[in-house]
Amino acid sequence: MISDAHRLAAGALDMPNRLLLGAGPSNPNPRVMQALMGRTVGHLDPTFLRVMDDIREMLRYAWQTENEHTLLISGTGTAGMEAAVANAVEPGDVVVVAVAGYFGDRIAQMAARYGADVKRLEVAWGEAFPHETLAAAVETHRPAVLAVVHAETSTGVLQPLDGLGALCHANDCLLLVDSVTSFGGVPLLLDASGVDVAYSGSQKCMAAPSGVAPLTFSPRAMDKLARRKVPVRSWYLDYTLLSKYWGADRAYHHTAPINMVYAMRESLRIVCEEGLEARWARHRAAAEHLWEGLSDMGLECHVAPEFRVPSLTTVRVPEGVDARGVVRQLLDDHDIEISGGLGQLAGKVWRVGLMGYNARSETADRLLKALAKVLGR
Ligand SMILES: Cc1ncc(COP(=O)(O)O)c(C=O)c1O
């Protein structure tokens, strides 16, 4: 027998009450946590199948799409990204990836692993791609897929999608959009923008714990999927198999994370109750309140106002200030989590998320007050 020391090592769980204002997760809405505790049923129980249908319906509203093929992947945003790439890309496809930060780079790496001939476009971290740059790349490379990150969480930049759908469709190309940080918090109209493939996560503006990833395919994306010459390399993320569980067949594919699906259903219900426009306006108002407060304190945002993501703000670390020390002090002394910079912006910016339940001016005020104390301003 292994020693009892292992058996007795862990006491009862007692986690601190943090205000989560980093890049995600955000604090779940209490209603979502209540739903998470709902009675567990089997993954083929008729009542659970109805829960799945509710989710598909509400995802269509939240994304503003009529896409029949809309569901949840069991996994975090990265699983959503991998499902999008694995299904949309066939070995040998040319894929143009707009890399404006860490997550664009992750898409490029994934597409290469799935056999794509990846053409990377780059801009400075803190800028968006001008439409002309993306148009020139699509016209030059004639890709099968153009991938962009709508809200790049590493930089706080919102990539405008205007005209990209029309550009892609005129060039027989799919438009793939990462909406992990924008979904449910930032204006995004999938069908009107001509988006063919999109995915998101649950832990940001949706105010649920992490663990499920919305995914959707347009009819054009489904056409490409139907014409694949080789099967999707990932068995778990093969949409054709997954759709047999989420669609009419109801065939076992994997054991869905039942209670997380309840949580996501509640989070979508909250979006539907609030209304998308009101929700977008709430995120923007909270962000503008934060930006004003930061500026009053003499702090600078990293991104030009017209390209800022309301749900995620990058703040420049002033000369001589210990970026990590501030993050640590906010956590230790004020129970507030913010994130440090990622990749090229490590040590140069802090990242502040006002997402979902936390997107309110009072929450921004709590951070501004604590930050003023920590910085001695
Ligand atoms: C823009 C973007 N894409 C993808 C991801 C990956 O999501 P996850 O960490 O849930 O796997 C994140 C996570 O922060 C993100 O911000």
Task: Spell out the residues 6+ positions from residue 337 whose beta carbon is closer than 8 angstroms to its own.
Answer: 18, 19, 20, 21, 22, 327, 330, 331
How do residues 161-182 score in pLDDT, each as one tens digit? 999 999 999 999 999 999 999 9
What are the backbone angles phi and psi of residue 207, rounded to the nearest 5°? 55, 45
Q: Ligand 1 pocket, 218 CB below 6 A?
A: no
Residue at 17: amino acid letter: N
Domain boundaries, the chain: 19-25+276-375, 30-272
Q: What's the CA gap between 311 and 290, in Å, rounded?
A: 11
Ligand 1 pocket test: pick from 105, 181, 210 the residue with the most ligand atoms within 8 Å of its Cβ: 181
**pLDDT value of position 5:** 76
Residue 7 has pLDDT above 80, yes or no: no
How do residues 42-54 score in pLDDT, each as one tens digit? 999 999 999 999 9
Residue 4 has pLDDT above 80, yes or no: no
For domain 30-272, is the CATH number 3.40.640.10?
Answer: yes
Q: Ligand 1 centre and the CA of 180: distance in Å?
A: 6
Q: Which atom of ligand 1 is nearest to the CA of 153?
A: 16
How do residues 32-44 score in pLDDT, each as one tens digit? 999 999 999 999 9
**pLDDT value of position 341:** 97
Q: Ligand 1 centre and the CA of 5: distance in Å?
A: 37
**pLDDT value of position 377:** 86
Whether residue 323 contacts residue 341, with contact meaning beta carbons closer than 8 Å, is answered with yes
Q: Which atom of ligand 1 is nearest to the CA of 23?
A: 14
Average pLDDT in the 245-249 region? 93
DSSP bridge partners of 177: 148, 198
The DSSP secondary-structure symbol of 99 reads E
Average pLDDT in the 213-222 region? 98
Q: Ligand 1 centre and the CA of 183: distance in Å?
A: 12
Q: Which atom of ligand 1 is nearest to the CA of 150?
A: 1
Instruction: Report the CATH number of the 19-25+276-375 domain.
Output: 3.90.1150.10
Whether residue 157 contacts residue 303, with contact meaning beta carbons closer than 8 Å, is answered with yes
What is the residue with the minimal CA distance to atom 10 of ligand 1?
A: 77
For the chain, the average pLDDT equals: 97
How do residues 82-116 score in pLDDT, each as one tens digit? 999 999 999 999 999 999 999 999 999 999 999 99
What are the backbone angles phi and psi of residue 284, rounded to the nearest 5°? -70, -45
Whether residue 134 contacts residue 164, with contact meaning beta carbons closer than 8 Å, is answered with yes
Q: Ligand 1 pocket, 149 CB below 6 A?
A: yes
Give the 3-state secondary structure of residue 285. helix
**What is the largest distance, in Å, between two alpha-carbon atoms of the chain?**
67
Q: Ligand 1 pocket, 201 CB below 6 A?
A: yes
